Chain A
Amino acid sequence: RKEVEQDPGPFNVPEGATVAFNCTYSNSASQSFFWYRQDCRKEPKLLMSVYSSGNEDGRFTAQLNRASQYISLLIRDSKLSDSATYLCVVNRPTGGFKTIFGAGTRLFVKA
């Protein structure tokens, strides 16, 4: 079992739809959590950090459930430009810390 697992995708949604991505992590010592976005043939870039209380950035809402070891990303009013791969990322302490990337979920938003 992978330490960070995501919905396999791809998700195909029409413009204006609401779409939710889920991610689970297996190590309870995990300390910080992120969603990154990766466009085709480009480098990953931070979309948002995920805080325990949940956080929102415009159309994007991230939630963390430490008890269930579950992270989610909700995208409202999807735009064509949201088409990308979304990576769930977890840091856990190891003396320093280790960063574990999920394999990603592909999103296609259609006109």
Chain B
Amino acid sequence: NAGVTQTPKFQVLKTGQSMTLQCAQDMNHNSMYWYRQDPGMGLRLIYYSASEGTTDKGEVPNGYNVSRLNKREFSLRLESAAPSQTSVYFCASTGGTTYNEQFFGPGTRLTVL
């Protein structure tokens, strides 16, 4: 049982390049999330998927797109990376009720030059 896995762990992009961050969970969770974490800002929600087939914007969705490929996988795409997107990105999943904890992946450290 791997929990939540993310790839890649590290990435350096040039401004304007695109990339997709991958996330998968093996806990049969309904809900999945993408967050970014910047120093002093805490975790900010980019997009979430309450269940397979649905996605919704979070607090900071601009510059990102997501795909809930199936119940296990939720990917985050940067179409044209900008230096402001330099951050640590965490994927998380939860069983889907308000009392469930969120389980986080190990994070992707992205630098955009």
Q: Which residues of A contact B (CB under 8 A)?
A: 31-32, 34, 42-46, 49, 87, 91-93, 96-97, 99, 101-104
Contact = CB atoms under 8 A, between A and B. Distances in A.
Nearest to A95: B50
A87 B33 CA distance: 17
B31 to A, nearest CB: 8
Contacts of A104: 42
A34 B103 CA distance: 13
B17 to A, nearest CB: 24
A49 B97 CA distance: 14
A42 to B, nearest CB: 7
A44 B106 contact: no
A34 B41 CA distance: 19
Contacts of A32: 98-99
Contacts, number: 40
Interface of B: 33, 40-43, 45, 50, 90, 96-99, 101-102, 104-107
Main secondary structure on B side of the interface with A: loop
B106 to A, nearest CB: 6
Given A31-B98, A97-B98, A103-B41, A43 B90 contact: yes
B104 A43 contact: yes
Given A43-B104, A43-B107, A45-B104, A91 B43 contact: no
29 contacts: A31-B98, A32-B98, A32-B99, A34-B101, A42-B106, A42-B107, A43-B90, A43-B105, A43-B106, A43-B107, A44-B43, A44-B104, A45-B104, A46-B101, A49-B99, A49-B101, A87-B42, A87-B43, A91-B98, A93-B98, A96-B50, A97-B97, A97-B98, A101-B42, A101-B43, A102-B42, A103-B40, A103-B41, A103-B42
